[in-house]
């Protein structure tokens, strides 16, 4: 990176480390904060420096290296509030190791994050590249999993689609009455208000119009969701019919009802957090949240892709998440290993039964992956038989092939890695950092 032209506040964390009762004398030598202080010098922060370089007037700002290191450490230890971070910079030894004696206030911290949110997210690729160079990412096996995270919206403040229709009609009637009353009093108000126009919208009319606009936007979201769900139902029914045709599934049960393109009257969406969706949470209740998805490399539990989706189950996420992970490898200039024939070596893709489908298996194989996706739930401590691939029928289905693959000695060994690779990552995020769906999106 070229030397910056802008003058910044001096930042020398090594100087603060040498003071009496410094963080370095109290914290263990291998603490994460010292690791980040070393790593920050290896990152290309040109995109973060750029907005300041042409601002040659005013007081020198805080060094972007300091601010970036501070926010990276804050996210790593579960501090997402600018005010809590500013307080930590005054009282917490690890944060003091970063800022020293020159401590930014909460508004400076908040403004920095808002200004550089995209640039901070792009650092993921640089960190991934460093992790690969250090041997922490080996591309041997990737485990994909999802977990529900609660959102910031309250389901008690939501409004159903049916009630929205009634409320929309009521508000339209009230607005019409207010407009009629306003027209009748225009002349009197002009005389009373003098130079004022007298036809300004009353405060209560502004409120009703704003609420009506929010209701109409919420209705539109619900209608779009209903159309997407109708299309998903068509795909599920087509897959089910194919399984019946291939003999994997019995054609019993009640006949399927008609597919609806319009929302149910009880369908809900939130005014304050429209990106979230009501879904089952880990406490067995229902609330607004997101389904966080991660792809984790098996070597050292490094996340190579992450996203938050509104689908309740994981059925459609196996291929998109691996595609995102491959895109991250390209962005980080990481090349997959090749064999003697010059072909990219296969990466084992591990996923629980929620990810299995014929489409997921074929999609992963088309991307050059070796999928190990559970086909059904298995009882704990139940004995597992072994099936040799040669014993499969000539026209075996994808489910039968995958079931036989997971019952081989290698299949059990490879799939057995999944739980120890990806589930501790969610445990660390939820337990140690207390991340919600909204902060997961921001992070």
DSSP letter string, 194-225: TTS-S-PPPHHHHHHHHHHHHHHHHHHHHHHH
Same domain, 302 and 263: no
User: Are the C-beta atoms of residues 9 and 63 closer than 8 Å to each other?
Assistant: yes
126 domain-assigned: no
Q: Does position 236 have pLDDT exceeding 80, yes or no?
A: no
Tokens of 236: 């599920």
Residue 37 predicted with pLDDT over 70: yes
Spell out where 314-358 has E strands.
Answer: 347-351
User: Which of 250, 269, 288 is the last residue before a domain boundary?
Assistant: 269
- Lowest-pLDDT range, 108-117, 162-171, 216-225? 162-171
Assess contact for 404 and 387: CB atoms under 8 A. Answer: yes
| pLDDT tops 90 at residue 280 | no
Q: Judge whether 2 lies within some domain.
A: no
pLDDT band at 206 (very low <50, low <70, confident <90, very high): low
Per-residue pLDDT, averaged over 153-158, amounts to: 60
191 pLDDT band, cuts 50/70/90, is low
One domain, residues 375 and 248? no
Statement to judge: residues 254 and 339 lie in one domain: no
Which of 221, 241, 269 is the last residue before a domain boundary? 269
CA–CA dist 251, 241 (Å, integer) = 8
Within-domain flag for 145: yes
My answer on whether 32 and 68 are in the same domain is yes
According to the model, what pLDDT value does residue 443 have?
46
Instruction: Copy the structure tokens of residue 90.
Output: 């005054």
Q: Which H helix or E strand runs over 235?
A: helix 203-245
- Locate 284 and state its tokens: 């067995």
Alpha helices by DSSP H, listed for 18-63, are 23-26, 32-39, 46-53
Does residue 192 share a domain with residue 244?
yes
Q: Is residue 245 part of a domain?
A: yes
Residue 64 lies in a domain: yes
Give the torsion sign (CA, 40, 46, 51, 53): positive
Same domain for 426 and 287?
Answer: yes
- What is the C-alpha separation between 349 and 365, in angstroms, rounded? 10
Question: Are both 215 and 342 inside the same structural domain?
Answer: no
Same domain, 257 and 296: no
Task: For the chain, give the percent of residues with pLDDT over 90.
Answer: 33
Q: Quick one: residue 264, left, alpha or beta (phi over 0 = left, psi -120 to 50 = alpha)?
A: beta
Give the residue, 402 or 240, on which the prediction is more confident.
402
Examine residue 136 and state whether it is found in any structural domain, yes or no: no
CB 373 within 8 A of CB 360: yes
pTM for the model stands at: 0.71
Q: Are 263 and 273 in contact (CB under 8 A)?
A: no
442 pLDDT exceeds 50? no
Neighbours of 277 (CB within 10 A): 21
| Domain carrying residue 431 | 141-151+275-442
184 lies in the same domain as 310: no
Q: Look up residue 400 and give its two tokens.
A: 């039968």
Q: Is residue 287 one of the residues assigned to a domain?
A: yes
Same domain, residue pair 347 and 280: yes
Q: 418 and 293 in one domain?
A: yes
C-alpha separations of 104 from 27, 34, 109, 202 in Å:
22, 20, 7, 43
Mean pLDDT of the region 293-302: 93
Tell me: the pLDDT tens digits for 48-64? Answer: 999 888 777 778 899 99
141: nearest Cα among 342, 337, 354, 369: 369
Please write down the long-range contacts of 110-119, taking CB distance under 8 Å and 24 or more positions apart: 110/82, 112/62, 112/67, 112/71, 113/71, 113/82, 115/51, 116/47, 116/48, 116/51, 116/64, 116/68, 117/442, 119/45, 119/47, 119/48
Question: Which long-range contacts (C-beta less than 8 Å, at least 24 apart) are formed by 258-264?
Answer: 259/230, 259/233, 259/234, 260/226, 260/230, 261/226, 261/227, 261/230, 262/223, 262/226, 263/161, 263/222, 263/223, 263/225, 263/226, 264/161, 264/226
Domains in the chain, number? 3
Q: Mean pLDDT check: name the lowest of 133-142, 197-206, 208-217, 263-272.
A: 197-206
Asked if residue 421 lies in contact with residue 301, where contact means CB atoms within 8 angstroms, the answer is yes
| 61 belongs to a structural domain | yes
Neighbouring-strand partners of residue 371: 349
Select the more confidently predicted residue: 174 or 413: 413
* Distance between CA atoms of residues 79 and 433, nearest Å: 8
Rounded Cα distance, 60 and 108, in Å: 13
Q: What is the mean pLDDT of residues 110-136?
A: 91
Can you say how many angstroms the Cα of residue 423 is from the centroid of all Cα atoms in its chain?
16
Q: Is the pLDDT of residue 45 over 90?
A: yes
pLDDT at 336: 85
Cβ neighbors of 290 (< 8 A, separation 6 or more) are: 148, 149, 151, 275, 276, 277, 308, 309, 310, 437, 440, 441
Are 69 and 99 in contact by the 8 Å Cβ rule? The answer is: no
Examine the domain organization and report whether 74 and 49 are in the same domain: yes
Mean pLDDT over 83-100 rounds to 91
Of the candidates 224, 241, 269, which is a domain's last residue? 269
- Please count the residues of the chain: 443
Range scoring the smallest mean pLDDT among 78-87, 240-249, 339-348: 240-249
Q: How confident is the model at residue 204 (pLDDT cuts 50, 70, 90)?
A: low
Geometric angle at alpha carbon 79, from 143 and 70, rounded to 5°: 95
Helix axes 117-133, 318-331, angle to 10 degrees: 80
- Give me the phi and psi of 338, to 5 degrees please: -120, 150
Closest CA to 164 of 275, 265, 272: 265
């Amino acid at each position: 990176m070229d030397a910056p032209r802008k003058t910044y506040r001096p930042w020398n964390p090594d100087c603060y480390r040498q003071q009496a009762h410094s963080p370095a004398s109290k914290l263990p030598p291998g603490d994460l904060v010292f690791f980040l202080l070393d790593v920050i010098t290896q990152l290309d922060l040109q995109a973060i420096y750029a907005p300041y370089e042409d601002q040659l007037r005013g007081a020198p700002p805080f060094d972007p290296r300091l601010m970036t290191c501070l926010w990276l450490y804050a996210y790593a230890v579960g501090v997402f509030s600018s005010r809590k971070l500013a307080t930590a910079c005054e009282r917490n030894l690890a944060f003091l190791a970063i800022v020293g004696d020159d401590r930014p206030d909460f508004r400076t911290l908040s403004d920095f994050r808002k200004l550089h949110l995209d640039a901070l997210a792009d650092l993921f690729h640089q960190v991934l590249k460093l992790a690969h160079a250090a041997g922490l990412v080996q591309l041997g096996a990737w485990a994909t999993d999802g977990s529900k995270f609660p959102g910031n919206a309250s389901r008690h403040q939501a409004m159903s689609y049916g009630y929205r229709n009634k409320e929309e009609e009521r508000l339209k009637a009230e607005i019409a009455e207010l407009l009629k009353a306003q027209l009748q009093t225009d002349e009197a108000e002009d005389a009373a208000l003098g130079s004022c126009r007298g036809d300004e919208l009353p405060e209560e009319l502004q409120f009703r119009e704003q609420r009506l606009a929010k209701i109409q936007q919420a209705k539109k979201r619900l209608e779009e969701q209903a159309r997407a769900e109708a299309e998903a139902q068509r795909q599920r029914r087509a897959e089910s019919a194919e399984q019946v045709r291939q003999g994997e599934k019995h054609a019993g049960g009640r006949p399927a009802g008609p597919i609806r393109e319009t929302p149910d009257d009880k369908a809900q969406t939130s005014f304050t957090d429209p990106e979230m969706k009501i879904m089952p949470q880990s406490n067995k209740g229902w609330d607004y949240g997101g389904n966080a998805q991660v792809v984790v490399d098996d070597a050292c539990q490094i996340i190579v892709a992450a996203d938050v989706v509104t689908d309740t189950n994981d059925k459609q996420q196996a291929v998109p998440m691996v595609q995102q992970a491959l895109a991250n490898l390209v962005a980080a200039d990481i090349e997959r290993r090749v064999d003697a024939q010059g072909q990219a070596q296969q990466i084992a893709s591990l996923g629980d039964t929620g990810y299995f489908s014929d489409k997921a298996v074929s999609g992963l194989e088309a991307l050059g992956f070796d999928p190990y996706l559970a086909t059904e739930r298995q009882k704990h401590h139940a004995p597992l038989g072994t099936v040799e691939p040669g014993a499969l029928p000539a026209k075996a289905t994808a489910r039968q092939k995958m079931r036989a693959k997971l019952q081989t000695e290698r299949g059990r060994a490879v799939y057995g890695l999944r739980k120890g690779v990806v589930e501790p990552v969610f445990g660390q995020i939820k337990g140690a950092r207390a991340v919600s769906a909204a902060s997961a999106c921001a992070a």
